[in-house]
Amino acid sequence: MAEGRLARRLLGQSSVEPGRDVYEYALTDARGVEVAVLTYGCIISRALAPDREGRCANVALGLSTLAEYETRNPFFGCVVGRYANRIGGGKFQLDGQEYRIATTAPPNALHGGIRGFDKHVWEVVREIGDDDAVGLELRLLSPEGDQGFPGNLDARVTYLLGAGGLRIDYQATTDRPTVVNMSNHSYWNLRGEGEGSSQDHVLTLSADYYTPVDADLIPTGEIAPVAGTPLDFRRPKPIADGLRSSHPQIALAQGFDHNFVLVRPDERALILAARALEPTSGRTLEVLTTEPGVQFYTGNFLDGRTYGPSGRAYRQGDGLALETQHFPDSPNKPGFPSTVLRPGEVYRSTTVLRFGTDRG
């Protein structure tokens, strides 16, 4: 029977929401895997995982202080919402009415607007601790009109660390029709935070298709096969193999920044979406999800001006993100899976992160 541990530490008061205390919760399992979660932005600020020799390293890119997270964070580790990823033109129509969303990547909305879910202090609803797992449930009330979205939204995120990995459960309800698409935006480097490029990681994606993008990284609406392109990760291969390809999609995104359409037996099954291996350490990360897509992003906009807890600069390609999600711009693409949530319905989504080792 696994034994876990939950510890809480006060980081200080938020400058974004004056008077609100911000805490760090450290979740530890019996194997020595430790995940730290901040109540600001629901951020995964640290993830310690052992290599094939049992040596632990932090594999999550992050920042050193609360002040940095509040002023300089390029979405490291946070929960993004109400709508993860992009909404083209910063607007969409729902039930015949147009809604305009605050644009953060003009002319498009990105990750929920100027002040999305990542820029709020979340309330801890409960702490969880038993023989099998440790964790916490967090809550955020997003009011009508928040960043332009309709409806009062009650959003909840639960982190639970146990023998099966780190389970992230998302839930939301609304009092008016709205759109919801929540995800975690952690950047991973399985060699260790600040240890250089992640381009040697060997990646596998359970996807036969992807959604091509235009020059603004908005999906065109096409669902295209990965076969014959650098975006084919159906068999394990190093990320670097296609990163400097002349393929038009790689050139547009300056690397990988694409939504992959997952192969799934039914709409709600928890399936293996991705597996990453760092060959030197042997560390692996498996990502399971109930979502229809995963955004694979290679940190193309990291430019060396952000420093992690290691004191080292983060440069392009130093971390990879695997954001489980509904597709970008779904509110404007009738052919994509719907992200509409109506009163009386419950938005539910689950992602599991499993850290392990490959003995080679």
What pLDDT score was predicted for residue 360?
Answer: 67
What pLDDT score was predicted for residue 3?
Answer: 61
247 noted as active-site residue: no
Catalytic residue among 34, 258, 323, 326: 323
Q: What percent of the chain has pLDDT over 70?
A: 99
The pLDDT confidence band at residue 162, using thresholds 50, 70 and 90, is: very high
What pLDDT score was predicted for residue 317?
Answer: 95
pLDDT value at 204 more than 80:
yes
Measured CA to CA, the distance from residue 1 to residue 355 in angstroms comes to 19
Q: Is the pTM of this model over 0.95?
A: yes
Taking a C-beta distance cutoff of 8 angstroms, is the pair 38, 20 a contact? Answer: no
pLDDT value at 178 more than 90:
yes
CA separation, residue 255 to residues 22, 140, 295 (Å): 35, 34, 13
Return all residues near 134 (Cβ < 8 A) that are at least 6 apart.
4, 5, 6, 27, 28, 29, 128, 160, 161, 162
The pLDDT confidence band at residue 32, using thresholds 50, 70 and 90, is: confident
Measured CA to CA, the distance from residue 236 to residue 115 in angstroms comes to 37
323 noted as active-site residue: yes
| Structural domain spans, the chain | 5-357
What pLDDT score was predicted for residue 2?
Answer: 46
Report pLDDT digits (tens) over 40-79: 999 999 999 999 999 999 999 999 999 999 999 999 999 9
Report pLDDT digits (tens) over 95-153: 999 999 999 999 999 999 999 999 999 999 999 987 789 999 999 999 999 999 999 99
Average pLDDT of the chain, as a whole number: 96
Least confident of 126-130, 229-233, 245-249, 348-352: 126-130
Catalytic residue among 185, 201, 258, 326: 185
Report pLDDT digits (tens) over 292-312: 999 999 999 999 999 999 999
- DSSP alpha helix (H) spans, 194-340: 240-243, 248-253
Q: Which two tokens stand for residue 144?
A: 């009508």
pLDDT value at 1 more than 70:
no
Radius of gyration of the chain (CA): 19
Fold of 5-357: Beta-galactosidase; Chain A, domain 5 (2.70.98)
What pLDDT score was predicted for residue 130?
Answer: 78
